[in-house]
Amino acid sequence: MEIKPYLEEQRRLVEEHLARFMLPAEDDFARLIEAMRYSLFVGGKRVRPILCLAAARAVAGDSSPDKQVMPVACAMECIHTYSLIHDDLPAMDNDDLRRGKPTNHKVFGEAEAILAGDGLLTYAFELLSDPAVSDLPADVRLRICHTIARAAGPLGMVGGQSLDMANEGREIPYELLRTIHRSKTGALITAAVEAGGIAAGADRDQLADLTTYGNAIGLAFQIVDDLLNVESTTEQLGKTAGSDADAGKATYPALFGLEKSRTMAREAVATAIGALESFGDSAEPLRALATYIVERKR
Amino acid sequence: MEIKPYLEEQRRLVEEHLARFMLPAEDDFARLIEAMRYSLFVGGKRVRPILCLAAARAVAGDSSPDKQVMPVACAMECIHTYSLIHDDLPAMDNDDLRRGKPTNHKVFGEAEAILAGDGLLTYAFELLSDPAVSDLPADVRLRICHTIARAAGPLGMVGGQSLDMANEGREIPYELLRTIHRSKTGALITAAVEAGGIAAGADRDQLADLTTYGNAIGLAFQIVDDLLNVESTTEQLGKTAGSDADAGKATYPALFGLEKSRTMAREAVATAIGALESFGDSAEPLRALATYIVERKR
């Protein structure tokens, strides 16, 4: 399948729904909501929501409950965006540029950026539990809620960011690097795929395959992120290039070199595609997404 | 009823369950979890969880599903604690002291404090949706989730904190002060009461009464907080006294003077108790809590 037009169409669909689900920046809380909207709509590839929708399609084909999956997909993007806002803060990575634009705290100040992140994180769970936006059975929605909370929480994304900060500038063993990536970026990517699967009624085996797929593309995604940070310019990337090396971060290229890192990324994609064997044509978007992840330029 | 021993017993019960539900600080994410635990277990009156349990009791009496309400009560305390950690940050209120101890960022540094807050907020939703900790029906749990998320989110607590920061040092009309308090502190207190009621199967009328009660004690709580900030010493308070005036914050004493503020707090408590008329003896703890709120010394 043609990945570029598919991604473009899906991205537009996700952004339409984000615009629909997101609060308008008016009345009493206009400034906070403006800060939340700034980072949410400043751009981005919308990879997690697209993965979520594609996983639901893989399970249910044309009868995928797209309308019901959409709030879940949008909640994933809210959580991803919050994590970027907080990661960019002066106390964290202190980044000035994100998606080619000034970071949230550069525009709205540090206090408002912290609150915009808090607001997006909380709003994600508001959306996941809102009775007005989905007809999925309550037990399915609760399972999705739990899957995403666990992946984003202290044993997932937040834990990974803490571990990453604690080990900045240190030589760390590969095992710890894997733990950092699995938690910091892998967990939420896997949760996006799992949540889509759960929404579409995946059985136990299908869900296990989706988990394997998610873990493998999460790994590939991280390796390619590391490679792009070394090989791209800031302009191509839309965020500060070379910042990992400057911060003395442990990365795949730093540990294994460029060539071996590229091979590892390709192997992870092969694992991901292999995990989809039991799915038919309906998993074509997931397969194409896996390939896209290693070939992307930003 | 005797409020002191009741509060002491409830506080101990909540802390036992917090200890049970909270992650242990070990393995990979030990440092983050240690930071989360530090603020969660540094003390505190546990007002929100106690209100949550008392509301369930008011509705269901001795057949209140205490065991099922406990994770909800503990999630409320996680969210409250996260909000304190983030409010104390240098970019926000820049407070060094909380519950008589150094604030989170003073002990763990700013980055870890931001993450500890993020971790506690996310963990609250993990707890609310965890299939292992509650037998409440999924639709009831989802409703509780939504009630709490909305109260803690951009139109609730986070919005209120943003509005409060934006108006620091300004003369603001009373209407805006009410909006700030309703959202910043009132919403979560009301949600604690509502969540307990929902867990215990409150009908529509009971829930409306609990909402009225929650809003009224939220108001009383805030006025008394403002009064204590003026009238107490830092030692009595366990946090920096006089900080509101120093920061030029709009407060009840600043707007209405001490005497009128005290009268307003007492009137709010009367409203709260009045809203419980349809409940019998089972609401005694809620009534006693309302009275306690205006009489407390810290």
**Closest residue, chain A, to B91 (C-alpha):** A111
Is pTM beyond 0.80 here? yes
Residue B54 pLDDT level (bands cut at 50, 70, 90): very high
Compute the nearest-CA separation of B162 from chain A (Å).
6
pLDDT score of A283:
98
Least CB-CB distance to B129: which of A121, A123, A142?
A142
pLDDT at A235: 67
With an 8 Å Cβ cutoff, are B141 and A143 in contact?
no
Residue A111 and residue B165: Cβ atoms within 8 Å? yes
Residues of A in contact with B114 (CB under 8 A): 86, 89, 91-92, 114
- The beta-carbon neighbor of A149 closest among B129, B142, B179 is B129
pLDDT tens digits for range B99-146: 889 999 999 999 999 999 999 999 999 999 999 999 999 999 999 999
Q: Is the dihedral angle over the CA atoms B151, B155, B160, B161 positive or is it negative?
A: positive
Whether A125 and B32 lie within 8 Å, measured CB to CB: no
Q: Name every chain A residue with its beta carbon within 8 A of the beta carbon of B164.
A: none
Between A and B, how many CB-CB pairs are < 8 A? 167
- Average the pLDDT over B244-271 and give the result: 88
Per residue in A54-96, pLDDT tens?
Answer: 999 999 999 999 999 999 999 999 999 999 999 999 999 999 9
| Residue-range domain boundaries for chain B | 3-295
State the nearest Cα–Cα gap between A101 and chain B, in angstroms. 22
- What is the pLDDT averaged over residues B67-93? 97
Q: How confident is the model at residue B242 (pLDDT cuts 50, 70, 90)?
A: confident
- What is the average per-residue pLDDT within B271-294? 96
Give how far B261 is from chain A: nearest CA, Å.
24
CB B128 to CB A111 under 8 A? no
Instruction: Give pLDDT, residue B290.
Output: 96
Query: What's the gap in Å between the CA of B269 and the closest CA on chain A?
Result: 27
Provide the mean pLDDT of chain B: 94
Please give the structure tokens belonging to residue A96: 């000035």
The reply to whether residue B31 touches residue A162, judged by beta carbons under 8 angstroms, is yes
Pick the CATH number of A3-295 from 1.10.600.10, 3.40.50.12280, 1.10.10.10, 2.60.40.420: 1.10.600.10
Residue B239's pLDDT band (boundaries 50, 70, 90)? Answer: low
CB contact under 8 A, B115 and A153: no
Interface mutation target, options A129, A133, A170, chain B, most CBs of B under 10 Å: A129
pLDDT at site A204: 97
Q: Which residues of A touch B112 (CB under 8 A)?
A: 162, 165
pLDDT at position A280, please? 93
User: Which pLDDT tens digit goes with each residue over B192-231?
Assistant: 999 999 999 999 999 999 999 999 999 999 999 899 988 8
> What pLDDT is stored for residue B80 in this prediction?
98
The band of A241, judged by pLDDT with boundaries at 50, 70 and 90, is low
Task: State ipTM.
Answer: 0.95
Residues B76-90 have a mean pLDDT of: 98
Is A29–B183 a contact, with Cβ atoms under 8 angstroms apart?
Answer: yes
pLDDT value for A1: 85
Residue B241 in this model has a pLDDT that exceeds 70: no
| CA-based nearest residue in chain B for residue A130 | B146
Which residue of chain A is at minimal alpha-carbon distance from B178? A28
User: Could you report the per-residue pLDDT of B28-40, keeping only the tens digit for each?
Assistant: 999 999 999 999 9
B111 interaction partners in chain A (CB closer than 8 Å): 89, 91-92, 165
Q: DSSP of chain B, one letter per residue?
A: --HHHHHHHHHHHHHHHHHHHSPPS-GGGHHHHHHHHHHHHS----HHHHHHHHHHHHHHGGG--HHHHHHHHHHHHHHHHHHHHHHHSTTTT--SEETTEE-HHHHH-HHHHHHHHHHHHHHHHHHHH-TTS--S-HHHHHHHHHHHHHHHSTTTHHHHHHHHHHTTTS---HHHHHHHHIIIIIHHHHHHHHHHHHHTT--HHHHHHHHHHHHHHHHHHHHHHHHHHHHS-HHHHSS-TTHHHHTT---HHHHHHHHHHHHHHHHHHHHHHHTTTTS-GGGHHHHHHHHHHHH---
**pLDDT of B14:** 98
pLDDT number for residue B294: 86
Put simply, the answer to whether A153 touches B179 (Cβ < 8 Å) is no
Alpha-carbon distance B234 to nearest alpha carbon in chain A (angstroms): 25
Q: Is the pLDDT of residue A238 over 80?
A: no
Which chain B residues are Cβ-neighbours of A149 within 8 angstroms? 122-123, 125-126, 129
Mean per-residue pLDDT, B274-284: 97
CB-based contact B258:B227 (threshold 8 Å): yes
User: DSSP character for A170?
Assistant: S
Chain B interface, best mutation among A126, A127, A168, by max B CB count within 10 A: A126
